[in-house]
Amino acid sequence: MIAIVDYRAGNLVSVKKAVDHLGFTCAITSNPIVVERAEKIIVPGVGHFAATSALDAAGLRAAITNAIERQTPFFGICVGMQWMFESSEEAPGITGMGVFSGQCAHFCPEVKSPHVGWNQLEVKDGSRLLRGVPSGAFVYFTHSYRAPLVAETVACCNYGGAFSAAVERDHLFGVQFHPEKSGDAGLTMLQNFCRL
C-alpha cells in the first residue's frame, strides 16, 4: 500500500486519483503508524512551507524518517519536495528533512511570481523516476519558491535561472511540479515510482 500523507496542506484527491488510475493501491492517511508501515510514501503539498510543521505536530516526521531509514521509497511533491531540503526562505524557523542540502528561495524579482503553468524539463540521464520522460517534456508548475541545483538534481527547469525541478538519490525522489496534473509525462513518473 502506498501512503499519501495528509497533513492538511491542500487537496490530495488528485494525487490519489492518479495513483488509482495507474492501478496501484493507495490511501490518504494522517496516521503515523500507517505511514511507517507503508510500502511507499508520497508527501504532496501545496501552499506555504510553514504547513510542513503539521508533519511534526502529528508525529509524521518521525514515522517518515524511520521508514526512509528502512529504505522505503519516498516521493515529495511541490512543498513535499521542498521539505526534503534543509529549509526555505518562506518560513525560516521551520526545519526540513534535510536529505538534500540547501535552502529553497524566492524567485528573483525579474520574473513574475508565482511561476504558474506548463514549463519544460531538462532531464539528466540515468534517473529512475524520469525513465521514459524526454528532455523538453512539459510539466505543470505552481510555486513561488524554488529549490537550488544540487548534485542530486535529475531535472532542472529555467525560470529566472535554473532550479531543481526533480531530485533523486537512491530511494528518495522529489519533484517541484505536479506530476498528477502534468498529463502523460507526469503519469509516467508516478508509474515509475509506484513500480519501484
Partner 1 sequence: MLTKRIIACLDVDAGRVVKGVKFLNLRDAGDPAELAAAHSRAGADEIVLLDISATHQNRAILLDAVRRAARELFVPFTVGGGIRSLEDAAAVFDAGADKISINSAALADPGLITRIAERYGSQAVIVAVDAKRLPGGNGARWEVRSAGGRKPTGRDVIAWVREAESRGAGEFLLTSMDRDGTRDGFDCELTAAVVDATSIPVIASGGAGGPEHFVTVFGEGKADAALAASIFHFSLNSVAELKQQLRAAGIPVRWPC
Q: How far is CA 174 from CA 26, 45, 83, 169, in A?
A: 18, 12, 9, 9
Closest CA to 128 of 74, 67, 66: 74
Minimum distance from residue 62 beta carbon to partner 1 (Å): 25
Residue written as grid cell 511534526: 56
113 binding partner 1? (CB under 8 A): yes
Q: Kindly determine how many residues on this chain lie close enough to bind partner 1 according to the rule CB under 8 A.
A: 35
> And the C-alpha cell for 50?
510553514
Task: Say how far apart CA 150 and CA 100 lie, in whole Å.
Answer: 8
Shortest distance in whole angstroms from residue 38 CB to partner 1: 23
From 3, 18, 68, 156, residue interacting with partner 1 (rule: CB under 8 A)? 18
Q: How far is the CB of 144 from partner 1 (least distance, A)?
A: 9
Q: According to the binding rule CB under 8 A, does residue 30 interact with partner 1? A: no
**In the numeric block, which cell numbers belong to residue 130?**
524520469
What is the contact surface with partner 1 in residues (CB under 8 A)? 8-11, 13-14, 17-18, 21, 46-48, 112-120, 138, 140, 142-143, 158-159, 178, 180-184, 186-187
